[in-house]
Structure 1
Amino acid sequence: MWYLDRHRGNNLESLVCAVLPSVLLTVVSLLGTVHGCPGVCTCRGNTSDCSALGLLSLGPILPLLPRDTRTLRLPQNNLSSLGTGELSDLSSLDLLDLSQNHLWNLQPGVFSGICGLRSLNLSRNRLGSSRLPAFEPGGVQRANGSQVSNGTAAQQSLSKDLFRGLILLQSLDLSENGLLWLPKGLLDSLQGLVWLSLAGNKLRALDRVTFEPLLALQQLQLAGNPWVCDCKLRDFKHWMEWLIYRDGQVDAVQCSFPRDLRGRDIRSVPAEMFNYCLQIQQVKEGGGGGDPTSSGYNNNNARALPGPPPCPQGRMTTSGEDCVRQRYKPASVRRAAGTQIVAGVVCGTVCVMMVVAATYGCIYASLMARYQREIKSRGQRLVNDAGGAETEPEEGETDVEDGVVSSLISPDESPTMQASGMDHSYRISSF
């Protein structure tokens, strides 16, 4: 009997020890609701800090958070998933910090209820985790990190509709998530994004189309990824140069493969080194040999595929063995600044010459007009003087005035003209 009573007491004590922490947490939370904040969190103004609490879900604290919360910090917890509409009650959020959790399952549109969000931190999670095992027997690994096995491709938990509705988002941190690639359309709705970090992932290549909607982007962080500097990265390299041309900033993008480019920043690699991509494209279009998915390098061991000897600079090979003149050369906006400077100097010189010519013409026209006025005034004075003086030139005398010859009237005609009452004088041409 004594043994049974002692056993019951031990069970009761164990039950109390197991339930007591939960009861205390509930009581503290209820006490915190008097001030509009969960007791386990720290609230100051419109900021709620619920970091490092070991939370497995947001269910216990979301109903207790103030509706006017603008900053919510949830780092260093054990969150693994977020459901659609779970954060819709916090429509006033400006900043959401979910870093250093175990998030791998985020439903599409999970942030659609907080469309006013401006800063989102999802760093150091597991968004790159695959839904299928990383390697399966007989599987073939793709260049973007996915795996094809029996017709089924491994997919990341990162959905292209994850950020749907975040039209005001300006800062997004996706660093250290083990991302293998970015789904097309992932960033389409983030046209106001200014700062983006993809550092510390497992990205090997990026598609230019994914980043073209980011018209307001000013800073992009890409360090810490095993970049494969082959044809798949050529178009993205041109987009990076366009971003830098718009005064944007991109950190170091160091090549891991191939071996001859290892450690080099792809921004310093001349565009001419990607000319062989055109050769591969022509081989594909012409039905030539080679693996169409190799892009010039074998992704398993990153060694160059065997091929014909290289052609001289400015020439390329076709389906035959002869080298022909290259018809296309990849454009690089790195030369745009020099082109603008040269064009500006030429246009400026032409404009200065046109101004000088116009000034010279105006001055010449003004001088000629002044000279003509002086000539006219001088001719008028001569006419007036000739009309008032009646001088008779001697026989054989001629008067030359400005190229006009005035002949003397013969003595035989003089009496007749005097009798008729006509008075003749010198003829002076008008100016």
Structure 2
Amino acid sequence: MLARGSGPEQRTRLAVQWRQISWIACWIALCAVEALPACPFSCKCDSRSLEVDCSGLGLTMVPPDLPAATRTLLLLNNKLSALPSWAFANLSSLQRLDLSNNFLDQLPRSIFGDLTNLTELQLRNNSIRTLDRDLLQHSPLLRHLDLSINGLAQLPAGLFDGLPALRSLSLRSNRLQNLDRLTFEPLASLQLLQVGDNPWECDCNLRDFKHWMEWFSYRGGRLDQLACTLPKELRGKDMRVVPMEMFNYCSQLEDENSSAGLDIPGPPCTKASPEPAKPKPGAEPEPEPSTACPQKQRYRPVSVRRAIGTVIIAGVVCGIVCIMMVVAAAYGCIYASLMAKYHRELKKRQPLMGDPEGEHEDQKQISSVA
């Protein structure tokens, strides 16, 4: 009887325990569902790699409900033209951000302020014209940066000061004409630099960057072709193979600028100077200070100046040789005419009948003349 009575009590006890376990399991499941990040509408999310792919959706703004644990965010091939400063707030785990092929023209100063773990940033094929020097100061782990195919005309000093881990940098197809060496010196880990397809002016402003390129290549860095656009003498040539003698005139410019800084500054030089006031009748016109802008001296590269000097020296040598040839020809003509005259006189002096003694004497005279 005890064995039979213990059955219902045991089943009741098991049922109560099962209900408790079920409630606990449901509570854990609900908590897990709430803890899982929600995927933005129309985007594709991978829970394993924590990647959010919102590319090619025609987005005009960044989705506001991005999961905080996102590591990779793809926003390429959209219609983003402006980004608010809080677009990537609270995404401290983000490591890779791709904003390529959009219509961005400028970036707020603090837009990447929360991306402290960012290692790759793609901004290829946008319309970015300027960059703030503090734009990347909060991303010290950045390794790959692509700024190609934009409208950058210059890079602010200090832009790369907080990027000691940067390994690859692309500046291709922009509007860069020169670069400052100090901007790139903090990049101690840089291995690849792309600067092609820019309108480079290979003048004094690019001389120091040429020194840095030589040092970068010497330590094993890879650099594509930096083809000169100006001056015409260097058009199409790689800046790295241009000899340093081409920039000797830069020291002359520096000396002139330093000496000019000691002069008393005069009125600003303007191309369109105001018309002088008409003098009063009967009064002598007062001399007016010259307001004409002095024409800036154009320095020619050393190769051009050496070529001109070579042409002048060659012309002088050729002229001397021609004069010597003319003198030699005149001397030959005079000598030939004298000899012909002598032979004519000698024939006149010969007797009608042969005289062996006279002929012998004449031969002696001819040999002595020769």
TM range (shorter): 0.5 to 0.7
Correspondent of 1:37 among 39, 63, 84? 39
Query: Structure 2 vs 1, CA of residues 34 and 281 (structure 1 numbering), >3 Å: closer, same or farther?
Result: closer
State the match for 1:56 in structure 2.
60
* 1:287 partner amino acid: A
> Shift of residue 34 of structure 1?
8.0
- 1:280-299 to 2 correspondences below 5 Å: 280-287=253-260
State the match for 1:86 in structure 2.
87
Query: Structure 2 vs 1, CA of residues 53 and 277 (structure 1 numbering), >3 Å: closer, same or farther?
Result: same
Question: Is the strand fraction higher in 1 or 2?
Answer: 1
Q: Using structure 2 for the length normalisation, give the TM-score.
A: 0.60
Inter-partner Cα distance in structure 2 for 1:200 and 1:308: 29
State the match for 1:242 in structure 2.
215
> Shift of residue 305 of structure 1?
4.5
* 2:163 partner amino acid: L
> Shift of residue 309 of structure 1?
10
Q: Is the 8 A contact 1:108 1:164 kept in 2?
A: no
Inter-partner Cα distance in structure 2 for 1:85 and 1:122: 18
Inter-partner Cα distance in structure 2 for 1:260 and 1:247: 30
> Shift of residue 287 of structure 1?
2.5
* 1:256 partner amino acid: T
State the match for 1:97 in structure 2.
98
Question: Is the helix fraction higher in 1 or 2?
Answer: 2
* 1:255 partner amino acid: C
- 1:347-362 to 2 correspondences below 5 Å: none
Query: Structure 2 vs 1, CA of residues 278 and 102 (structure 1 numbering), >3 Å: closer, same or farther?
Result: same
State the match for 1:223 in structure 2.
196
Q: Is the 8 A contact 1:119 1:172 kept in 2?
A: yes
- Identity over the aligned pairs, expressed in percent? 47
- Where structure 2 has 5 or more consecutive residues not aligned to the other structure, the ranges are 1-34, 262-295, 307-370
State the match for 2:67 in structure 1.
66
Inter-partner Cα distance in structure 2 for 1:309 and 1:66: 59
Q: Is the 8 A contact 2:207 2:247 kept in 1?
A: yes
State the match for 1:127 in structure 2.
128
Q: Is the 8 A contact 1:166 1:190 kept in 2?
A: yes
User: 1:146-165 deviations in whole A, cap 9, x for unaligned?
Assistant: xxxxxxxxxx3x21111120
Query: Structure 2 vs 1, CA of residues 163 and 306 (structure 1 numbering), >3 Å: closer, same or farther?
Result: closer
- 1:163-312 to 2 correspondences below 5 Å: 163-287=136-260, 305-306=297-298
Q: Is the 8 A contact 1:170 1:192 kept in 2?
A: yes
Q: Is the 8 A contact 2:246 2:301 kept in 1?
A: no
> Shift of residue 113 of structure 1?
0.2
User: 1:346-396 deviations in whole A, cap 9, x for unaligned?
Assistant: xxxxxxxxxxxxxxxxxxxxxxxxxxxxxxxxxxxxxxxxxxxxxxxxxxx
> Shift of residue 307 of structure 1?
5.3
* 2:87 partner amino acid: E
User: 1:194-222 deviations in whole A, cap 9, x for unaligned?
Assistant: 10000000100001111111111111000
Query: Structure 2 vs 1, CA of residues 215 and 34 (structure 1 numbering), >3 Å: closer, same or farther?
Result: closer
Q: Using structure 1 for the length normalisation, give the TM-score.
A: 0.52
Secondary structure (helix, strand or coil) at the match of 1:286 reads helix
* 2:95 partner amino acid: D
Query: Structure 2 vs 1, CA of residues 269 and 100 (structure 1 numbering), >3 Å: closer, same or farther?
Result: same
Secondary structure (helix, strand or coil) at the match of 1:37 reads coil
Query: Structure 2 vs 1, CA of residues 36 and 196 (structure 1 numbering), >3 Å: closer, same or farther?
Result: same
State the match for 2:346 in structure 1.
none
Inter-partner Cα distance in structure 2 for 1:99 and 1:308: 42
Secondary structure (helix, strand or coil) at the match of 1:62 reads coil
**Which runs of at least 4 in structure 1 moved beyond 6 Å after TM superposition?**
308-313
Inter-partner Cα distance in structure 1 for 2:170 and 2:301: 40
Secondary structure (helix, strand or coil) at the match of 1:285 reads helix
- 1:140-151 to 2 correspondences below 5 Å: none
Q: Is the 8 A contact 2:60 2:78 kept in 1?
A: yes
Secondary structure (helix, strand or coil) at the match of 1:172 reads strand
* 2:92 partner amino acid: S
Secondary structure (helix, strand or coil) at the match of 1:184 reads coil
Inter-partner Cα distance in structure 1 for 2:113 and 2:213: 30
Query: Structure 2 vs 1, CA of residues 270 and 219 (structure 1 numbering), >3 Å: closer, same or farther?
Result: same
Q: CA RMSD in A?
A: 2.4
Q: Is the 8 A contact 2:248 2:302 kept in 1?
A: no
User: 1:236-279 deviations in whole A, cap 9, x for unaligned?
Assistant: 00001111111111110000010010000000011121111111
Secondary structure (helix, strand or coil) at the match of 2:253 reads helix
- Where structure 1 has 5 or more consecutive residues not aligned to the other structure, the ranges are 1-32, 129-155, 289-303, 314-431
Q: Is the 8 A contact 1:109 1:164 kept in 2?
A: no
